[in-house]
Chains A and B, each alone.
Chain A
Amino acid sequence: MPDVNTIDYVTISTTGDATDFGDTSVTRREAGGCNSDVRGLMAGGYATSNVIDYITIATTGNSTDFGDLTVGRTYVAACDNTTRGVFGGGWIAPSANNTMDYVTIASTGNATDFGDLAFAFREATACSNNSRGIFAGDRPTPLDTIEYITIDTTGNSTDFGDLTVARYSMGGLSGDS
């Protein structure tokens, strides 16, 4: 099975099949996605990529180079407050990584160090509200750990609580309760 450069989209409020959007600048998987209400960013991925590229979500077209992560890694987990995107953890064979770095989504440029996750996450999942970013789950031994950061500051992550079931490589999102 090959990595693909496909970008496709749906209108969330409807149902139906996805439609072609364009292609990623670099073909890869296991990148982290974050966004403002204008731009979507895709960062890192297999194999130990440091590439950050972006799209304008309301249009269609190919992604464009944004800049580089501070360190290339696979399985990046990403969260945002629509202004700042934070990329956490990942895999740099043969080790998991505790790096967090961030970008200002509306600009372009390389990522800057944010702080450290409490421990090295290999395949965490992220979500956020407009203040907190959450990183949860990991492997190789499935973990139930949930950690959080305050996105508009910098610093290390703090314990949040536990998942109902220890696991890794989930799909994270946030919405209204």
Chain B
Amino acid sequence: MSKKISHTLVGGRTVAGTGGQGLKIGGKGRLYWKDVDESSLEPAWFGDRGLFAGGESSGLNNEIDYITISSTGNATDFGDLIEGKGYLDGTSNGTRGVWFGGYSTGDKDRIQYVTVSTLGNATDFGNLTVARYSPAVVGDGTRGVAMGGLG
């Protein structure tokens, strides 16, 4: 199970009779143990930064935008995909965001990634087994899986 303790908790331990404890950073940088339970744990890929990559407008677009999901407001530039692409889909493990396929004038089998916490351009990851666009992409924080699409 790909779970992590929320970002204010930096370590964890199990304690008999409780859901466990997390090591939390307190005021003045002191560490202390805090009781946690399952409801305070969140899947690793559930960060608060949302990324939107590529798409089409007057042509194929390579823009990557980001938002802070918990705060309303306009998107901000994050970086660029390797090439302009539409009809791609992505998932992450919290740290790394990966996009699969997409319609483009170049490689439709490209998989590319970014580090979600760091602004910058995408880097080549590898290739799909079948070049395609418009897949449905899912993930469990360890694997990213591309399902179907147009070859």
Contact = CB atoms under 8 A, between A and B. Distances in A.
Contact of B148 (A27, A132, A164): A27
A45 B148 contact: yes
B145 A30 contact: no
Contact of B70 (A27, A131, A167): A131
Interface residues of B, number: 81
Contact of B51 (A8, A142, A168, A174): A174
A9 B50 contact: no
Most buried by B among A11, A12, A128: A12
Q: Interface of chain B, helix or strand or loop or mixed? A: strand
Contacts of A31: 136, 147-148
B46 A170 contact: no
Nearest to A159: B72
B142 A12 contact: yes
B52 A176 contact: no
Interface string B91-130: 1111111111010000000010100110000001111111
Given A173-B97, A175-B94, A8 B145 contact: yes
A16 B124 CA distance: 9
B140 A38 contact: yes
Interface string B46-67: 1111111111111001010101
**Most chain B Cβ neighbours within 10 Å, of A24, A45, A167:** A167
A4 B46 contact: no
Interface in B136-151: 136-151
A41 interface: yes
Contacts of B143: 9-12, 57-58
A136 interface: yes
A29 B89 contact: no
Contacts of A163: 52, 65, 74-75
A176 B74 CA distance: 18
Contacts of A172: 50-53, 89-90
Contact of A167 (B1, B55, B94): B55
Interface of B: 1-3, 7, 42-43, 45-58, 61, 63, 65, 67-70, 72-77, 85-100, 102, 111, 113, 116-117, 124-130, 132-151
Interface of A: 1-13, 15-21, 24, 27-38, 40-43, 45-46, 55, 57-58, 63, 78, 81-82, 125, 127-132, 134, 136-137, 139, 142, 146, 148, 159-177
Given A127-B52, A159-B72, 17 more contacts: A10-B144, A12-B93, A16-B126, A18-B111, A33-B91, A43-B136, A57-B140, A125-B55, A128-B69, A142-B58, A161-B73, A164-B65, A165-B63, A167-B57, A169-B54, A172-B53, A174-B49
